[in-house]
Amino acid sequence: MSTTIDARGLSCPQPVLLILDAIKKGGGTELIVLVDTDTSKENVSRAAESQGCTVTNVQPDGDGYQIFISRV
Partner 1 sequence: MKNFFAGRWGIIGVGGIIGILAALLQKLGNPGNMGICVACFERDIAGALGLHRAAVVQYIRPEIIGFVVGSMIAAYLFKEFRPRVGSAPIVRFVLGAVAMIGALVFLGCPWRAVLRLAGGDGNAILGLLGLTGGIWIGTRFLKNGYNLGRTQATHTTVGWMLPLIMLGFLALMFVFPQVQDQEKSGVLFYSLKGPGAMHAPLFPALIVGLAIGFLAQRSRFCTMGAIRDLVLFGQIHLLTGFISLVAFAFLSNMALGQFHPGFAGQPVAHTMHIWNFAGMALAGLAFALAGGCPGRQLFLCGEGDGDAAVFVMGMIVGAGFSHNFGLASSPKGVGPHGIAAVVIGLVVCLFIGFTMRKKTA
8 vs 71 by CB, closer to partner 1: 8
In whole angstroms, how close is the CB of 63 to partner 1 at the nearest point? 6
Contact footprint for partner 1 (CB under 8 A): 8-14, 16-18, 20, 36-39, 42-43, 46-47, 50, 63
Calculate helix-pair angle for 38-50, 14-25, nearest 10 degrees: 30
C-beta of 29 vs 49, nearer to partner 1: 49
